[in-house]
Structure 1
Amino acid sequence: MAAFFRNLLKNKVMLFMVLPGALWFFFFSYMPLVGTIAAFKQYRFSREGFWASLAKSEWVGWDNFKFLFSTNDALLITRNTLLYNIAFIFIGLVLSVAMAVLLSELVNKRLAKVYQTGMFLPYFLSWVIVGYFAFSFLSMDRGMFNQIISWFGGDPIQWYSEAKYWPYILIFVSLWKSIGYNSVVYLASIMGIDKSLYEAAMIDGANKWQQVKNITIPMLSPIIIIMTLLAVGKIFYADFGLFYQVPRDSGPLYAVTNVIDTYVYRGLKTSGEIGMSTAAGLYQSVVGFALVMVSNYVVRKIDKDSALF
């Protein structure tokens, strides 16, 4: 015990630095875990508060989980959630790494910072604002795209009624908003690569592409694997704002915009079933945890040093 307190005093500065993040995780990630009990109860509101209502609610076992799997939409929302996230992970990975490499190769560092700031800015915009941006381009009457189509003699497109265009629109909007943020991680890793490796490659006559292929990408592989593993853990989560705000909750688009999160939200809005919503969140968390463990196990078998843990 004495050794424990000595270690606390020795590392007090570091511990104080970690304290805000630890408190955030405790209050917003660990304390709410108790509320997962609602996934197995028929939760009913009362004036006595959440915990009293939870204690008095009737146990229903796995009935809340049947909501996701007993409807005709179960396969549709699962398919949409998985396919969109797979596209976001792999296309986003390629574009983020490419953008980081391009920024690192710019000779004018002030110009590189301007480009980096411009790419980083969309990440801070809320999906409500992004949804209105998209509407300014896709509006039937005054949208920029329809005006351009009309100038060339074409017929305007009812974007918010034509589902076939929206997989591409959603992927583009998501990548536009996130690539700048994700590229910062890879750019920081590139900045940490020993410059003598590039100097030696230049002496051997390697061009820029050969330097990127044989030095940059191999040196980035550990962080690429870690970021991919973390993304795989959220593969059953969908960005609610992207799939709800950008398509403007248009009914004709549900076939390609309805994902687990929006489906649960609409169900919660119409039925008010807290237990059902909690069951969906628990299902997503458990599946994500299992995917991270399996993916990490596969990576450890291939390359132990590249594994997350």
Structure 2
Amino acid sequence: MRTRTDAQRASRRSRRRQAVRRELLYLALCAPGLVALILFNYVPLFGVVLAFKNFRPRRGIWGSENVGFDNFAYLFAGDAWRITRNTVAMNALFIVATLVVALTLAILINELRDRSPLLTKVTQSAMFLPFVLSWVVVAHLATAFLDARSGLLNQLLDLVSLPAVNWYAEPSYWPAILTSVDLWKGVGFWVIVYLAGILAINPSLYEAASLDGASRWQQTRRITLPLILPLITINVLLSVSKVFNADFGLFFQVTQNSPALYPTTDVIDTYVYRALTTTGDVGMAAAAGLYQAVVGLVLVVGANWYVRRRSADNALF
């Protein structure tokens, strides 16, 4: 009996060694990504301690005075509500607008695919091009439209005898402006994602529906949307996970960091940046960053819990 057990153990060890050797190439390919993940995502977590210290560079992180939750108290006594409201509200606008526009365009392009392949390719390329532009370039293009003296929008207003608007001093217009800019730059990527999901649907389903007399709208509503719903759910969940992480380039570059626009465009990321560059308060900046991370985690876990209750197959975890 002992000899048989030893033989079984030796056989299992041999199979494990063979499996490791067989998968060694894949493990080697994963290694750079794992190293980068650890270096840039887990090692910096030790910096969380700065949120609870009155950081002084001469004393270092561990030598600086512990202040408990004083940094958070100062943050919440000041601008926490404004930057939280702006961050969540703007990201919610971006998520809804991108979802609706990207889905609509993907469905339209899919309808054009068989009728005009050339037009489909041109349209896809034109929509995707802004995605690869930097926010600095996009900010200059926005200035060409919004400049108070020579901007295209004010010239159009002048043509219809309407007064010019100083766009960079009017915060009420900027939720719509930033949503439009974010759509123009990023919607092409999401169109490709949803179009890929639509193309993965079995064409025989549409053929059968067509034979049964279903219109194109009925096919879209009964076949396309239900079958890409898991893809939509995953994308929305991933977007919700970043609802507390505003795109710094969009909110800083496009708005030209104009103080007049802070009531509607000042978000957590720009607030942390100013805390570091103007006041040098590392502790308060770290507190804002930790607050951003914790609430973002709570949101994505809550959203995933809700999706799991409705449809466990569509949840992320």
TM-score range, shorter chain: over 0.9
Q: Are residues 1:140 and 2:148 paired?
A: yes
- Bigger Cα displacement from structure 2, 133-142 vs 155-164: 155-164
CA RMSD of aligned residues (A): 1.8
Shift of 1:76: 1.7
Aligned sequence identity (%): 47
Shift of 1:5: 4.3
CA offsets per residue over residues 5-30 of structure 1, 9 Å max, x none? 44332223333343333232122112
Q: Are residues 1:308 and 2:299 paired?
A: no
CA offsets per residue over residues 100-146 of structure 1, 9 Å max, x none? 21222222334322221211121121211111111001111111111
Residues in 1 aligned to 2:25 and 2:216: alpha-carbon distance in whole angstroms = 43
Residues in 1 aligned to 2:199 and 2:27: alpha-carbon distance in whole angstroms = 28
Q: Give 1:119's match in structure 2, choosing from 127, 133, 151.
A: 127
Residues in 2 aligned to 1:19 and 1:115: alpha-carbon distance in whole angstroms = 39
**Match of residue 13 from structure 1:** 25
Q: Which runs of 5+ in 1 are unaligned?
A: 47-51
Shift of 1:4: 5.0
Residues in 1 aligned to 2:95 and 2:133: alpha-carbon distance in whole angstroms = 21
Shift of 1:64: 1.9
Question: In structure 1, what residue type is equivalent to 2:99?
Answer: L
Alignment TM-score, normalising by the size of structure 1: 0.92
**Match of residue 157 from structure 2:** 149
**Match of residue 221 from structure 1:** 229
User: Secondary structure of the equivalent of 2:254?
Assistant: coil
CA contact (8 A) 2:272 2:289 kept: no
**Match of residue 80 from structure 2:** 74
The 3 A distance-change label for structure 1 pair 283 and 154 is: same
- Written as runs of structure 1 = structure 2, the 5 A alignment for 1:130-279 is 130-279=138-287
Max Rg structure: 2
The 3 A distance-change label for structure 1 pair 83 and 4 is: farther
- Written as runs of structure 1 = structure 2, the 5 A alignment for 1:1-150 is 2=13, 5-46=17-58, 53-71=60-78, 73-106=79-112, 107=114, 108-150=116-158
User: Secondary structure of the equivalent of 1:147?
Assistant: helix
Alignment TM-score, normalising by the size of structure 2: 0.90
Shift of 1:154: 2.4
Q: Which runs of 5+ in 2 are unaligned?
A: 1-11
Residues in 2 aligned to 1:24 and 1:102: alpha-carbon distance in whole angstroms = 39
Residues in 2 aligned to 1:109 and 1:201: alpha-carbon distance in whole angstroms = 23
Q: Give 1:284's match in structure 2, choosing from 287, 292, 309.
A: 292
CA contact (8 A) 2:275 2:282 kept: no
CA offsets per residue over residues 265-293 of structure 1, 9 Å max, x none? 22222211222222211211111111111
User: Secondary structure of the equivalent of 2:167?
Assistant: coil
CA contact (8 A) 2:52 2:287 kept: yes
CA contact (8 A) 2:248 2:270 kept: yes
Residues in 2 aligned to 1:20 and 1:296: alpha-carbon distance in whole angstroms = 29
Shift of 1:45: 1.5
